[in-house]
Chain A
Amino acid sequence: DTAVSQTPKYLVTQMGNDKSIKCEQNLGHDTMYWYKQDSKKFLKIMFSYNNKELIINETVPNRFSPKSPDKAHLNLHINSLELGDSAVYFCASSTRERIYGNTIYFGEGSWLTVV
């Protein structure tokens, strides 16, 4: 009964490949996110998405794209992988029932290594 689950947990792939990381939440939340944690442990928002709008951090390369088949899923697609994409990617979700502020829950992370 994991609240936010990501697969795969570990992914090693070659430069130039296209890969996807899947995320599912069973909390009934209406907003999902992708965060990237770099080698210095710095966490940065990549995307937030609910059924009405997608907000993209302007620093995210367009090789990265979120895809949401339904409210409970937000998958991350990465095209033409580069060495600098190596990082831990965290999926998260929250509810926006309260307009000002909400508690966010993270998945366990997906360790991506590009070689």
Chain B
Amino acid sequence: GIQVEQSPPDLILQEGANSTLRCNFSDSVNNLQWFHQNPWGQLINLFYIPSGTKQNGRLSATTVATERYSLLYISSSQTTDSGVYFCAVARGSQGNLIFGKGTKLSVKP
């Protein structure tokens, strides 16, 4: 099956700093999504981005499908950005996402 690796596994930032989270995947995919799991356990969909670049406020994401990686950028981080960020991919006509192990982000005030 497809392997999904995320880096770094843990990240500690000071409020206001910028960061880049990376997701590598081992095979071609036609579905890639980024999620944020907040400290209360809620999984929030950030981006559906199998290719290209998208931006939403302080967050943006880029997927280079031919090189099998995706990046999530967080600018001017806030304490509410803390949590675990997951990358998930799928291939074929099924939507069954395969998740990476996540990047745990802690933003300090």
Give the interface of A toward B (CB within 8 A).
31, 33, 40-45, 48, 55, 57, 88, 90, 94, 96, 99-106, 108-109, 111
Contacts and interface: CB of A to CB of B under 8 A. Distances in A.
A18 B101 CA distance: 30
A42 B4 CA distance: 12
Contacts of B93: 96, 99-100
Contact of B96 (A42, A48, A109): A48
Interface string B3-43: 00000000000000000000000000011010101000111
Given A101-B30, A104-B95, A42 B101 contact: yes
Interface in B65-109: 84, 86, 88, 90, 93-99, 101-102
A36 B85 CA distance: 17
Interface of B: 30-31, 33, 35, 37, 41-45, 48, 50, 84, 86, 88, 90, 93-99, 101-102
Task: Tell me whether chain B's interface is mostly helix, strand or loop, or mixed.
Answer: strand
20 contacts: A31-B95, A41-B84, A43-B88, A48-B94, A96-B93, A96-B95, A100-B31, A100-B50, A101-B30, A101-B50, A102-B31, A103-B45, A103-B48, A104-B33, A104-B95, A106-B42, A106-B43, A106-B44, A109-B41, A111-B41
A90 B50 CA distance: 23
Given A31-B95, A41-B102, A42-B99, A104 B45 contact: yes
A105 B95 CA distance: 12
A37 B41 CA distance: 10
Contacts of B33: 103-104
